[in-house]
Structure 1
Amino acid sequence: MSLLELNRVQAYYGGIEALKGISLTVGEGEIVTLIGSNGAGKSTTLKSICGQVKTSGEIRFKGEAISSWLPHQIAASGIAHVPEGRRIFPKLTVKENLEVGAFSVKDKALVKERIEQAFAYFPRLKERYRQAGGTMSGGEQQMLAIARGLMMKPDILLLDEPSMGLAPVLVDQIFEIIQELNASGMTILLVEQNAYHALQIADRGYVIQTGEITMQGKASSLIADEQVKESYLA
């Protein structure tokens, strides 16, 4: 059974149809990537899963229909969304940003334990423990955004353009961390414009164009496909 399943999902911004009946699945323990050009509907797909845009169709998580749930209910069910542009709290320290990520965890000892787990993945954040998030580099802010998403110990991590705006050496580092998280058992749905990097680490992939899934398959097959190469890997 799939951990996450979208069946003919349509999404709307006002009267504009942004997703035109897409279907995709993410199995437990997989990295699945969604690639496509700017404006294709990648970010809208993640927002639809998280209840942030109006949708029709069916979204199921762990076998339950969640389309009618509120965003905070979806987050509490085990779905963590790390949005495009990081969106950390710039005036809060690293520690405070992580604590916000565990907003519904009442056990302070458990929050502290999860912060230490985050530092195991991101040692740089431990060095910046009391530093305001907005004063850190773009790469450090991206690490903080991912670490904050892990604070609820989600079943699936939705990552939206984690490499955007980063220097190549930091892009490699972020993708290594994504692989480490997956190796530890984390299921990941990755939206990424850097299609080559994404397909290199993913199990499966989907190509989205103007709100429709146009191709899908094993990542190794997509990365070898001539049409994908010409459109996204050139």
Structure 2
Amino acid sequence: MAELNVSHYLDVRGIESYYGKIKALNGIDLHIEQGEIVTLIGSNGAGKSTTLKSISGQVRPKEGSILFEGKDITKNEPHKTALLGIAQVPEGRRIFPRLTVRENLQIGAFSVKDKKIVAQRMETVFGYFPRLKERLSQVSGTMSGGEQQMLAMGRALMMKPKLLMLDEPSMGLSPNFVEQIFNIILDMKEVGMTILLVEQNAYQALQIADRGYVIQTGQIVMEGRGKELMVNDMIREAYLA
């Protein structure tokens, strides 16, 4: 895979992605620097999740390019992108409900053969989510929505990702769990993790984001520092009212 001279950690350039004949993304441009939290906000159907899926390889763009650490990953299969260090926590969590918490976490480290490394990563996950340690033997489908979200994030962390993509992590959660999740995202940033956050709660997302992008009908229509977007009149009326 060719190395390209780029300045951004993740560089998405003019991607166009389709579902069948329906164009979902129409020339998306965005970038992320290492160690940033960048949020992507927009209404339902605007193309937020499709952008994440295009980066992770679940949807293959027909035009444009996606570069990660200087490598062109536009045509990668999802497992190859994951092995490069990009982990996605999908909307709706999508844990394995019939498996235990332990088994779900172990699946997150599918590429690691050394049991000591798996155990070390699990302890790192417990540092963020101590509740998971208390429920290691519990069947995950019997946990609350907030606990399942923690498990989904923990499973992604078992990959030791370089870039963590979170798709609507607060969806359907109680205010208490929402606050916990956003505090944990900030804790991850403190240790240098790079995060791309898609979030329905624009206020919470922009509060913690270094930068943000606004997407409408498959196009980026605005970008800026998180705090700047929070006081923008158009953003306030459309997403913060």
Q: What is the deviation of 1:108?
A: 0.7
SS in 2 for 1:38: coil
- Note the alpha carbon deviations across 1:27-78, whole angstroms, 9 max, x for none: 0000000000000000000000011113021000001110111110000000
- Note the alpha carbon deviations across 1:132-185, whole angstroms, 9 max, x for none: 110000000000000000111110100000000001111011000000011111
Larger deviation, residues 49-58 vs 211-220:
49-58
Q: What is the deviation of 1:126?
A: 0.6
- Note the alpha carbon deviations across 1:8-41, whole angstroms, 9 max, x for none: 0110000000000010001000000000000000
Counterpart of 1:30, as a letter, is E
- Structure 2 runs not aligned, ≥5 long: 1-6
Counterpart of 1:31, as a letter, is I
**Is the 8 Å Cα contact of residues 157 and 188 (structure 1) preserved in structure 2?**
yes
Match of 1:151 among 144, 153, 158: 158
User: How many residues were matched structurally?
Assistant: 234
Instruction: Give the TM-score, by structure 2 length.
Output: 0.96
**Any runs of at least 4 consecutive aligned residues in structure 1 with deviations exceeding 3 A, and if so which?**
none
Match of 2:179 among 165, 172, 178: 172
Counterpart of 1:16, as a letter, is I
**Is the 8 Å Cα contact of residues 60 and 75 (structure 2) preserved in structure 1?**
no
- Structure 1 runs not aligned, ≥5 long: none
* Counterpart for residue 39 of structure 1: 45
Provide the C-alpha distance between the structure 1 equivalents of 2:210 and 2:105, rounded to a whole number of angstroms.
29
* Counterpart for residue 219 of structure 1: 226
Match of 2:169 among 146, 162, 166: 162
Match of 1:79 among 86, 89, 97: 86
- Note the alpha carbon deviations across 1:90-129, whole angstroms, 9 max, x for none: 0111100000000000111100110011001100001111
Counterpart of 2:22, as a letter, is I
* Counterpart for residue 57 of structure 2: 51
Q: What is the deviation of 1:2?
A: 1.3
Provide the C-alpha distance between the structure 2 equivalents of 1:170 and 1:196, rounded to a whole number of angstroms.
16
* Counterpart for residue 18 of structure 1: 24
Instruction: Give the TM-score, by structure 1 length.
Output: 0.99
Q: CA RMSD in A?
A: 0.5
* Counterpart for residue 205 of structure 1: 212
Is residue 2:105 matched to residue 1:98?
A: yes
Is residue 2:30 matched to residue 1:30?
A: no
Is residue 2:190 matched to residue 1:190?
A: no
**Is the 8 Å Cα contact of residues 13 and 54 (structure 1) preserved in structure 2?**
no
